[in-house]
Structure 1
Amino acid sequence: MLKSDLTITTLSGDAFASHLPAFAELLTSCVRAGASVNFVMPFEPCEAETYWREKILPGVCSGKRVLLAAWLGDQLAGTVNLDIDMPPNQIHRAEVSKLLVHPQFRRRGIARALMQALEAEANGAGRTLVTLDTQTGGAAEPLYGSLGYVTVGMIPEFCRDACEDRLGSTTIMYKRL
């Protein structure tokens, strides 16, 4: 069950930069718990901080990416970001990236709350279609389905598993807002 002290905020570049260590810890914990989010073990906090600083922060600062953070009190419990930097023929669309919930806070409705806030942000930005890919058979796939995302298909052997030496599939999904 979701704690009553959950707050979801949209972070500016400055606010995000001031919380980089917390985001690095969140990503590191999720990868070490097996999350299929582009990284493989061994994975260190310095790699996570570099990812956030070099790949996400510039987009947040330029307004091309929306970063949402879920806080339980003053602790970062989860995050998701929305890529709104689309080509001219796709300005009606946005893409979900890096839905992460810290392993100690899972199964409390945080991912659902983050996705609902993300959809509100997409709608506010004039987007009518949201797309994503997720690990086939992973914990997030049924969540997305329960939120109304439609499966388009699956790509086999799409990526390496975070913890094991094997390839996994990804499922492509979308939702019309």
Structure 2
Amino acid sequence: MTEDVLVRRVGASEVAACVEPLADVLIDCVEGGASVGFMRPLPRERAVAFWRKVAEGVVRGERVLLVAEDGAGRILGTVQLILSMPDNQQHRGDIAKMLVHREARRRGVAQRLMAAIEDEARKEGRTVLVLDTVTGSSAERLYERAGWQRVGVVPKYALMPDGEFCATTFFFKHL
């Protein structure tokens, strides 16, 4: 099922080349209704600008960026580990922008990305991870199956891409 999918860490020297295909994944997810910080319609220039900022963070060592690629090298999904934390939280990392293109869903890509980002967090010396997701989403079920602990739910925390309010569930995991 996921044999043809490679999950890898994107290095500082190659991250700029990933901006455009990552923008494609982000736009697809927002168009598909994912509440990931952007409203519909998401202009391409806005998506590209977002990924350029992420790339800058990777270059500065503030973020770990993983991509899942098919056998042809096309990016199917991504996830980030934010390392830039206050002095008293250097043991912690935030998981951000877990995205899988709609064409690649139900193939175990998200599970592979999450397992890999946890491994990267361990390599970076992080022992506590946190994330948030839309309450009731398939992502929420994914995190529960992967052993993440639910902290709580905040009603009306964010908006869906169509402007409707959504509740957000917060999770943590000790590594």
- Contact 2:129-2:172 at 8 Å conserved across structures: yes
- Contact 2:19-2:55 at 8 Å conserved across structures: no
- Name the CA distance, whole Å, in 2 between partners of 1:58 and 1:88: 21
2:77 equivalent in structure 1: 78
- Structure 1 gaps of 5+ residues are none
1:169 equivalent in structure 2: 167
Q: What are the residue-to-residue correspondences of 1:60-139 with 2, within 5 Å?
A: 60-73=58-71, 74-139=73-138
Query: After the TM superposition, which segments of 4 or more aligned residues of structure 1 sit over 3 Å from their partners?
Result: none
Number of aligned residue pairs: 174
After superposition, what is the alpha-carbon deviation per residue over 1:59-79, rounded to whole angstroms, capped at 9, x for unaligned?
Answer: 100111000000002110100
After superposition, what is the alpha-carbon deviation per residue over 1:15-64, rounded to whole angstroms, capped at 9, x for unaligned?
Answer: 1101211011110001000111000111122110011112x112100111
SS, match of residue 140 in structure 2: helix
Please report the RMSD computed on the Cα atoms of aligned residues, expressed in angstroms: 0.9
- 1:146 corresponds to 2:148: no
SS, match of residue 142 in structure 1: helix
- Name the CA distance, whole Å, in 2 between partners of 1:23 and 1:13: 15
- Of all paired residues, the percent bearing the same amino acid is 40
TM-score computed with the length of structure 1 as normaliser: 0.96
**Offset of residue 13 of structure 1:** 2.5
- Contact 2:28-2:101 at 8 Å conserved across structures: yes
SS, match of residue 41 in structure 2: coil
2:40 equivalent in structure 1: 41
- Name the CA distance, whole Å, in 2 between partners of 1:137 and 1:158: 14
Out of 42-51 and 112-121, give the one that drifted further: 42-51
**Offset of residue 14 of structure 1:** 2.7
- Contact 2:79-2:95 at 8 Å conserved across structures: yes
